[in-house]
Every structure is written in C-alpha cells, then in structure tokens.
Amino acid sequence: MDTTLHDPLVGQVLDGRYRVDARIAVGGMATVYRAVDTRLDRVLALKVMHPTLAADASFVERFIREAKSVARLAHPNVVQVFDQGTDGPYVYLAMEYVAGCTLRDVLRERGALQPRAAFDILEPVLAALGAAHRAGFVHRDMKPENVLIGDDGRVKVADFGLVRSVDTVTNTTGAVLGTVSYLAPEQIENGTTDPRVDVYACGVMLYEMLTGDRPHQGDSPAIVLYKHLHEDVPPPSAAVPGLAYELDELVASATARTPDLRPYDAVALLAHAREVRGSLGADQLDAVPPQALTAEHLGAEDRTSVIPRALTMLRSLPVNEDEPDVLRTSRFESPPPLPRRRSARPPRARLWTIVAAVLLVFGVGAGVWYINSGQFTKVPPLVTKTEAQARERLETAGLETGQVKHAYSDTVKRGSVISSDPEVGERIRQNGSVALTVSDGPQTVRVPDVEGYRLDRARTVLKQEGLAPGMVTREFSEDVEAGFVISTDPDAGTTRRSGTAIALTVSKGSPVEVADVTGASLEDARAELEEAGLKVRVAAEQVTSEFDKGQVARQSLDPGSEAAEGDTVTLTLSKGPEMVEVPDVVGDNVDDAKAELEAAGFQVDEDRGLLGLFGDTVKKQSVKGGKTAPKGSTITLEIR
C-alpha cells in the first residue's frame, strides 16, 4: 500500500518554496521526503522533524544551531545541507538528494559482502567522518541506514548534526534496535561521546559487511546493550572461516571496548584500513561471502565426502529393469514409492557385482578422504582471544599450543592474541602445534629530555622515540634563547604510551618593552623600536588624529606591553587633525557656551581672572567664531 497517500505533507509547498512529492523514509526523529526546490528547480531531500520534537523549543534551537554548523562541512562524501527553516508546526532541513539506496538495503538484499566491496564502502565513510572529526563534530549515530550509496556508486554519510543535537544517550527502545546495535560501551555506560564512538560504530558496520550479521544480538535491546558492555566483538573469521586475520585485527582495533585502545578518530582508522587493504592479496579481497558458501560451497563439500561419492556411483551402475528403483536414489533424495513387487529376481552374479562396486567405492573414498583431509584441520579463530581461550580452542581442535611470544600492541589489549603461526584458517596436521603472539598492551615510552633543543630538533627526537610532537606554546624566557624548548608536558622522564602527543613550550626569548612612539616622527619612532630589537611596518592607510601630518598616530603593540625580539610593530601615520568650524559663543552664558563647543568636538578651558570670579558671561574666545580649529583642541573662554 502506498503510505504516502495518507501523509498530509505530500503535495504541499513548505515555506513557499519546497514542493513535497513523496515520502522516502520515516525515522525516530524525522520523516524524509523527496521534494523540489521551486526557486532553483532542483530535486532535494527534505527532512521534517516529528511534531512531538518540534514542540520542544530547546531541542529545535539545538537542531538549528547544529544544522548551521554542519552546513559548513563541505566534503564529497557528506550529504550536504542546503537550507533550514520552519513553516508553522514543521521544522525542516533541505538536503542533497542521493538517488540510490542505503547500506542497510544492500546488506538486506545481499547479506555479507566481499572484503573488497566492504572496503569500497568503509573508506569513503571514514573519509567523511574524518573531515567531521577534524572540524569538531561527532556523528553519534553511525549505522547502515545513514550510509547512502548512489546509483553512480558514490558513498555519502547522512544525518550529520541531527543526532549531535540530542544530549542524551540514543533511545534504546525496540523502535531503534538498529541504533542500539552500534552504540559504543561508553555511550551506554555514561553518555560519553567523542570521535571514538563513531570509530566503534564503523567497526561494527565492517563486521556486519563481512559476515552479513550484527556481532551482538539478543531478544531485547537490554541484552544487546549488556553484550556491548561485557563482550568483545568476535572476529569475523569466526562466522566466515577463511577471512584474512588482518580483517579480524582491523575489526578488533575499531571495536575495542576500552576507548583508549581504539584509533583516536576516523582519520586514524582510515589509515589503518588502507594499510590492511594494501596487505591483502586479490584472493583475500575477493573471498566468497557466506551466502555464496551456502549456495555452492556447502554443496561442494557434500560431493567430496565419502557417502555421497559412493551413493552417487550407484546411479550410474547398470541395473535390471526389474530391480527396485530405490537403488537409483542417493541418500540425499527421498526414494519414490516402491513399484509393485515382481516375481523376477536379479541374477545373483549381478547383485554381487553391485555390492562389490559399492564396497569398493566406500573403501577407496574413505582412503582418499583420510589421506587428503582426515589428517588435516584448520587453525581456529584465535586473534583477540585471551591466551587461555586460545589454548582451549586449540585443544578442542585437536592441536597443541606451541611457543608463546609476547609483543607490544596499541590495538590488542594486554593478554590477548595478536597473531598465530600458522595463521588463522590455514591447514595444519592434526596434533600439530600453533605458535601464539600475545599482546603486552601498548608500548610505553619514556619522554626524552629535549629542554634547550631547537624546536625542529626536539620534534625529530620525539618521533625517533615513538612519540608525537604536540601543541606548541610560546613563552618569554630570560634563560632560554628564542626558538628553543623550555619544557614538555608531560615532563621529561615520565612514561607514556607509544604515539602519545607531547606538548612543547618554546621560548620567545627575553621580553622587550614596547616604547610609546605616538606623536613622534616616523624616523624617530623607527629608530627607537629597532634599537629595542623590534621590526617596524608602516600601515598603508593614514588616519586623522590630534597629531600633525606625518607623525605616528597609532601603534599595533600597546606602549608598555611586552614583545619578543623580532616581533613586528605596525605604525599608522597621521594625516593631520580634522578641522572643525568654531562656534561663536561671545556674549553667551558660560554653561551654554561650553555645551555648544563640546558638542562641536572641542575641549573648553575658562579664564576668569580677578574680575571674572563671579561672572557668567563669555567676553572673549581664544579662536574667533567662524574660524576653524583642529577637532579635539582646546578653546579658552574669557569670563567677565
């Protein structure tokens, strides 16, 4: 049934501009329509907030504020926001319309994807999120429904900003079960949101693309939430044997339950994903997904097993027309009803020939199976499992635990398996041994002492020690030369995880007190500032001021302030004072005269003398009325 027939907005024109043509989708907070911008004659998507939310003024205010911010996020993989507005009870966003489908549609139709296709979708998603993270945005609700795949193959991320307007943990009722499946543990536990929650959600989506299913499932949202908090996302190869272990590690890195063990934002995860993709061969990238295994691979295994081979051969043996038809049927077919029993019986020799053939096939088939398969098994999924769990899995598979080595890892938590030799999924003889490499957690690095190093040299030393140069703050120092490091944060000698950013405080040298050169000639001002170690720049434009033409009217650094040696002071020259006509106030009351002169821009001074101590009339003014004088200059009034 076409539900759009019952939607009151379809056919209307919002804000006198957007003609609503059809309803596309309904979400927990808004309904999305296909619409036409009648002014620009272009098709776009119109997201209209549900009336219950639109009635909340604070929510609408945050929604509008975030929409304006996200509209400035220009990226080819982000659905662009064109406009925002209200029309009566409707609060809406006008956005780019992407003709195509969502990742959810693809997963629903195809199930698991080949790793190559999963990377083709994941990488542009991470590029979009990376741009948002570096611009200060967190999506907070990444899921397949918000990944749009255009008919032209372009991948775009939708709903930036909308969920950011909500300052509570995403609703966990059944209506948003799909959202529950992608929440990071810290979102569930305390509502914390930073770029790593988007990294977690992308890890869950990658698992779903590789396996066709979500990693955590349950009969209720509460069960799913509990699993996010207490269970690791399993390696994809546990559901799809044969997937490269590098894919397991990529998923494990992105979905680590401890946020600090995940890549710090989507840019870092994108770099990791590209590294993994580059390490895989064509056969690993094009591995057959599970739905193809169900249709083809499992059938192939049936045909190579002993019983199907033997019983299949029975079909090709010559049989007497009077023999029961059941002999023509394999064990995987339902035998037809036996025909009416006939008196004729097969010759004894023919019957023994059939029995011998069956026994021969069974014997040869079993021998071939034992030689080719019975002596071998596959290394079970071990990556990200604890050492105890890995030993248990190996024992269950009939394998021994070989040498156990330890290595640092920024992505695999301490005590869990980083890799195995042979690798997960490889063939190995029964009772063979598998070597394990177990994580010692992130490598810790001692912060080197770079005090007194030039900034470029200090950065090089930090990188050599496995640390990242961080933010640079500049301060005055009487003891450390300009351009050299004063201190680090954290301090030298402390230990930090490999890759940690180290903040540097760099000297600006001894402070220089800035002299007051306003009113001086340019030549004198330049000489005084340069003698103090400062550079001088002259502004192109001049301004009117109380100073004579050519004198310094302004300086960019305040007189008496501190500057670093080599800093630049910009001087603005005067083009002379503004000349103003002086009002004629002779004979006026003193108070009235002062008010008129001050209103004209002059300062006023009184000269009363002995005779004018008690007078209140202006007898004379220092500049006659009708003449001009510099604005701001002083006019002296003689009072009698």
Q: What residues are labeled active site?
A: 141
Nearest to 112 by CA among 235, 223, 205: 205
Given 3-state DSSP classes, what are the helix, strand and coil percentages for the chain, each rounded to the nearest 5?
Answer: 35, 25, 40
Strand partners, 35: 20, 44
Q: What phi and psi, each to the nearest 5 degrees, are found at residue 468?
A: -110, 130
Tokens of 301: 């295994």
Q: What phi and psi, each to the nearest 5 degrees, are found at residue 33?
A: -120, 150
CA distance 316 to 306: 16
Nearest to 283 by CA among 449, 411, 115: 115
| Residues 182/184/187/193 CA torsion (nearest 10 deg) | -100
Tokens of 362: 């069974």
Look at the block and give the residue holding tokens 């006509």.
581
Nearest to 506 by CA among 527, 482, 532: 482
CA distance 364 to 306: 9
CA distance 306 to 310: 6
In degrees, rounded to 5, the angle at the alpha carbon of residue 41 between the alpha carbons of residues 36 and 43 is 40
Look at the block and give the residue holding tokens 């394990």.
436
In degrees, rounded to 5, the angle at the alpha carbon of residue 539 between the alpha carbons of residues 533 and 543 is 125
CA distance 487 to 450: 8
CA distance 230 to 217: 13
Look at the block and give the residue holding tokens 């950013």.
501
Question: How many Cα atoms sit within 13 Å of 380 on the Cβ side?
Answer: 16
CA distance 213 to 281: 24
Q: What is the DSSP string of 516-579?
A: --TTSBHHHHHHHHHHTT-EEEE-SS-B--SSPTTBEEEESSPTT-EEETT-EEEEEEB--PPE
Question: How many Cα atoms sit within 13 Å of 612 on the Cβ side?
Answer: 15
Contact 587, 640 (CB under 8 A): no
Look at the block and give the residue holding tokens 């000349």.
579
Contact 561, 479 (CB under 8 A): no
Strand partners, 416: 386
Tokens of 539: 């502004």
